[in-house]
Chain A
Amino acid sequence: MKPILEIKGLSYRYEGGQRALRDIDLNIYPGEIVALVGQNGAGKTTLAKHIIGILKPPPDQVIVCGNDVAATPVSKMAKQVGFVFQNPDHQIFHQTVNQEVAFGLRNLGLPEDEMKQRVTTALKEVGLELLAGQYPLSLSRGQRQRLALACVLAMKPEVIVLDEPTTGQDQWEKIQIMNLVADLNKRGHTVIFITHDMSLVARYAKRVVVLCQGEIILDNSTQDALAKPEQLAKSFLKPPQITLLSNRLNETLNRPGATTVLTVEEMYSNLQAMMEGGA
């Protein structure tokens, strides 16, 4: 299969001389859901910015949806790539929540009736449908974050990049957002999300890319990545407790090759199966 996102030997240095990315090679295929993790300052956001061209890569080093990012203006890339920033306030400026979501669609030149329909759907998906007529800046921080997400959803991009989409959200909102993201992925969107929350990684990502000081030190399926706590420890990352527990149990019960458990539900069904087998 042809990758939807192709990065070849990308390096980047900030103006002050600080090196942010070193020789990054990364292929992401249509329909994947990838978590980008690493310490603060590891280069996650810098890498993500190259995907849509906010930071311009050298020619032919980053190809997204068949476009050379170096040669395409960001506002053109926006048709195929959605980007949700950490700070929603940088984009909010309309009188109502409705208009705010419609802004991006107007830029795409959509007809009025389709626009209306997409706005309603997007707001329903993020759970803001009752606030559609409100002034966006009167919403809470969490709601504004979800509004920013709705703005991107409505544009229906093939690739969605989310920079810490769950900051400032309570547990319930977090799960809601991530369920929505997973749902989008099931509907065929390619998703790349940046996060610090390893339980979200374990639960939602199919693939994990770990950045450390501008280099990819681990790129693997989530199960395989979380089975190697030593590798993750280099970036001061720790698998969720349930995974650590299952890894330890597998060791003491001497079950090499047993699958790595990612969620409590998996652990429960595994234990149940074991107990029934043992009885």
Chain B
Amino acid sequence: MARVTEYIDCNSFIHRLNPLSKLFWALGVMILALSFNNVFYLLALLVLVILTGLMARVLLNLAFVLKGLLIFASILVLLQIFFLQGNMVLFYLLPDQHLPVTKEALLLGLAMGLRMITVVLSFLIFLSTTQFKDILLVLTEKLRLPYDYVFMFMTALRFVPTFLDEAVQVRYAQQVRGCPVDSGNPWQKLKAYQAVALPLVLVSLKKAERLAIAMETRGFGCGKRTYYQEPVLTKLDTLVMVMVIATVILAITFRLQGYGIVHY
């Protein structure tokens, strides 16, 4: 799980796109995914996102995330089966006609699952094809968000893999002291994890403090910033953004006409 939000260097044309157009694309995918709840519309959208991932040559690295997402998606499907009462019974999960699985519940569950996978995957593609510093630059320079907050948010994101890595190290350190995080019943395990959580928080606080000092010694917040390299908007970027906007407008129009939406 440690490498979820990391940049993957492949230099595809998607890598070379301006971060702004990729952000537009990811947001566009999200709007589209939220607009429709027809399984087939969402499936088509997911296929498009997967194709983009393939073109960017980052999909293989994200395959293990997909596995985790599939588990979450199946939980969503199960939840719908339990809670949505439809009319078209397909089959029963338990004998004696208990726990009916209806067509409506199954379809809605699948739609929810697909929607989640599509949105998460599109943002992962955005993050793994764009360097951290470029995202920062676009958000502050192009979108005029306040630098301090953007920096704070992006740094938090940047430290997720480090944090997970640290968690593994702490778990090892406690295991070798005989702490039963790797054996025993679930309740014992849960209690044992206290010994992992506490050092992890302490180490992270320490790290945050050190980071703040290191940043100040290098002049963070002393005045107007200049930038080392500013990514330019190419014709391709304009094309991508215009296409995204056009698609979104089109999709919303269709949605208002009642296409791609199923009422349960």
Q: Given A76-B183, A89-B202, are A107 and B172 also a contact pair (CB < 8 Å)?
A: no
CB distance from B152 to the nearest CB of A (A): 24
CB distance from A62 to the nearest CB of B (A): 15
Instruction: Tell me if B178 and A75 are in contact (CB < 8 A).
Output: yes
Residue A83, interface by CB 8 Å: yes
Instruction: Tell me if A52 and B176 are in contact (CB < 8 A).
Output: yes
Instruction: Tell me if B195 and A75 are in contact (CB < 8 A).
Output: no
CA distance A155 to B173 in the complex (A): 14
CB distance from B162 to the nearest CB of A (A): 13
Instruction: Tell me if A75 and B170 are in contact (CB < 8 A).
Output: no
Q: Given A90-B199, A92-B202, are A75 and B180 also a contact pair (CB < 8 Å)?
A: yes
In the assembled complex, which residues on chain A have CB atoms less than 8 Å from the CB atom of B175? 54, 73-75, 78
Max chain A CB contacts within 10 Å: which of B175, B177, B178, B202?
A: B177
With beta carbons under 8 angstroms apart, the residue of A74, A77, A87, A93 that contacts B195 is A93
Which secondary structure dominates chain B's binding surface?
A: helix
In the assembled complex, which residues on chain B have CB atoms less than 8 Å from the CB atom of A74? 172, 175-176, 182
Q: Given A79-B178, A104-B178, are A54 and B172 also a contact pair (CB < 8 Å)?
A: yes
Instruction: Tell me if B173 and A90 are in contact (CB < 8 A).
Output: yes
Instruction: Tell me if A107 and B177 are in contact (CB < 8 A).
Output: yes
A101 closest partner in B (C-beta) = B177
CA distance A104 to B177 in the complex (A): 5
- Binary contact readout B180-211 vs A (1 if CB under 8 angstroms, 0 otherwise): 11110000000000010011001100100000
CB distance from B176 to the nearest CB of A (A): 4
In the assembled complex, which residues on chain B have CB atoms less than 8 Å from the CB atom of A155? 177-178
Max chain B CB contacts within 10 Å: which of A49, A82, A91?
A: A91
CB distance from B208 to the nearest CB of A (A): 14
CA distance A151 to B180 in the complex (A): 16
With beta carbons under 8 angstroms apart, the residue of A87, A90, A92, A107 that contacts B178 is A107
Residue B169, interface by CB 8 Å: yes
CB distance from B127 to the nearest CB of A (A): 19
Instruction: Tell me if B203 and A89 are in contact (CB < 8 A).
Output: yes
In the assembled complex, which residues on chain A have CB atoms less than 8 Å from the CB atom of B166? 90
Give the number of A-B contacts (CB < 8 Å). Answer: 75
Q: Given A73-B182, A75-B183, A103-B195, are A90 and B176 also a contact pair (CB < 8 Å)?
A: no
CA distance A152 to B177 in the complex (A): 7
Instruction: Tell me if A93 and B198 are in contact (CB < 8 A).
Output: yes
In the assembled complex, which residues on chain B have CB atoms less than 8 Å from the CB atom of A92? 199, 202
With beta carbons under 8 angstroms apart, the residue of A81, A107, A137 that contacts B179 is A107
CB distance from A229 to the nearest CB of B (A): 36
CB distance from A270 to the nearest CB of B (A): 42
CA distance A251 to B77 in the complex (A): 80
Residue B85, interface by CB 8 Å: no
Instruction: Tell me if A90 and B177 are in contact (CB < 8 A).
Output: no
Residue B174, interface by CB 8 Å: yes
Residues of chain A from 173 to 227 with CB closer than 8 A to chain B in the complex:
none
Q: Given A73-B183, A78-B177, are A89 and B172 also a contact pair (CB < 8 Å)?
A: no
Residue A29, interface by CB 8 Å: no
With beta carbons under 8 angstroms apart, the residue of B170, B178, B182, B202 that contacts A137 is B202
In the assembled complex, which residues on chain B have CB atoms less than 8 Å from the CB atom of A91? 170, 173-174, 177, 199
CA distance A81 to B172 in the complex (A): 13
Can you list 30 A-B pairs, Cβ within 8 angstroms, ordered by A?
A: A74-B172, A74-B175, A75-B175, A75-B178, A75-B181, A75-B182, A77-B176, A78-B175, A78-B176, A79-B178, A85-B172, A85-B173, A87-B169, A87-B173, A89-B202, A89-B203, A90-B170, A90-B172, A90-B199, A91-B177, A91-B199, A93-B198, A93-B202, A103-B177, A103-B195, A104-B177, A104-B178, A151-B177, A152-B177, A155-B177
10 more A-B contacts (CB under 8 A) besides A78-B176, A81-B176? A73-B180, A73-B182, A75-B175, A75-B179, A77-B176, A78-B175, A89-B202, A93-B195, A103-B195, A107-B177
* 9 closest residue pairs by CB, A with B: A107-B178, A93-B198, A74-B175, A90-B173, A104-B177, A78-B178, A91-B173, A83-B176, A73-B183
